[in-house]
Structure 1
Amino acid sequence: MITYELMLLLRIMPKPELVSTLKRTAESIYNKGGIIRKIENLGTKDMPYKTSVHGVVYNKASYYLMEFNVPPSSLHDILDEYGRDIDIIRRRIYKKAEPEYQECTLHEELQPAPYRKNVQELITQARKLDKPKFQYNTGLDYYPFQK
């Protein structure tokens, strides 16, 4: 199954109500055949702009991030269910990107700048753009009749 991330913005409420809301959201994922990998509390913050949901205007919210696996066919049902929940201000589901492997280049980066491979490539590109100097066997490095 594909791993997804669910970003939840919940209204500010007491801890017992918050726990019951998170249990409800988790149970809906379980009921659709999903597995929750991680739940992360990102804290209570001001929202970037006011949001009106279910007839109430919110400017602060509790931010939560869930990682879960679920069949792609049930994503629409989950979003629809969360849209009807009055405790959820905003919800977004993203496909989790796989981390790209990057090899370590520390030994190359510790070298002085002129010895690095990427700096040498930049120098060769810059030399290609240099204008050729004028030569008519006059000893001048410019054309004297052109302004």
Structure 2
Amino acid sequence: MVIYELCLLFRIMPKKELTTSLKRTANTIFEKGGVIRKIENLGTRDMPHKQSAHGVVYKQASYFMIEFNAPPKDLADIDEQYSRDIDIIRRRIYKKQKEESIECTLHEEMLPPLYRKSVQELVQQARKLDKPKFKYNSGLDYYPFQK
């Protein structure tokens, strides 16, 4: 299954109510056949701008990130169910990208350009593309047009 990230912004509420809301959102994923991999609390923060949800304007929210697996066909149902929850101000589901392993090449990057492997490969490609020089074939000893 594909790994998804769910970003949730809950309205500010006491800890007990927040845990019940979080359990409710987790149960929605479980009901649709999903598996939760990680729940991360990002804390309570000011929102970048005011946002209204369910007829109320909010300036602060409790941020949560849930990493889960679920069948792709059920994502619309999950999102629709969260849209009806009055405790959730905002929700977004993203497909998690696989992290690419990056090899550190700092020692190579510190070399002068001529000695770098990537530059040498470019020079090799340019030499393969060298085209023959233009031959005038005019029979004259000079080029009649100005250069």
TM-score by structure 1 length? 0.76
Q: What code does the residue aligned with 1:108 have?
A: E
* C-alpha RMSD of the superposition: 2.2
Q: Which residue of 2 aligns with 1:79?
A: 79
Q: Which residue of 1 aligns with 2:138?
A: none
Q: What code does the residue aligned with 1:15 have?
A: K
Q: What code does the residue aligned with 2:49 have?
A: Y
- Segments of 5+ residues of structure 2 without an aligned counterpart are 127-147
Q: Secondary structure of the equivalent of 1:24?
A: helix
Tell me how far apart the structure 2 counterparts of residues 43 and 118 of structure 1 sit (CA, whole Å).
Answer: 44
Q: Secondary structure of the equivalent of 1:97?
A: coil
Q: Which residue of 2 aligns with 1:35?
A: 35
Number of aligned residues: 126
- 1:117, CA displacement in angstroms? 4.0
Question: Structure 1 residue 93 and structure 2 residue 86: aligned?
Answer: no
Question: Structure 1 residue 49 and structure 2 residue 40: aligned?
Answer: no
Tell me how far apart the structure 1 counterparts of residues 69 and 117 of structure 2 sit (CA, whole Å).
Answer: 42
Q: Which residue of 2 aligns with 1:19?
A: 19
TM-superposition CA deviations, 1:88-137 (whole Å, max 9, x none): 00000000011123223133134356643456769xx9xxxxxxxxxxxx
Q: Secondary structure of the equivalent of 1:86?
A: coil
TM-score by structure 2 length? 0.76
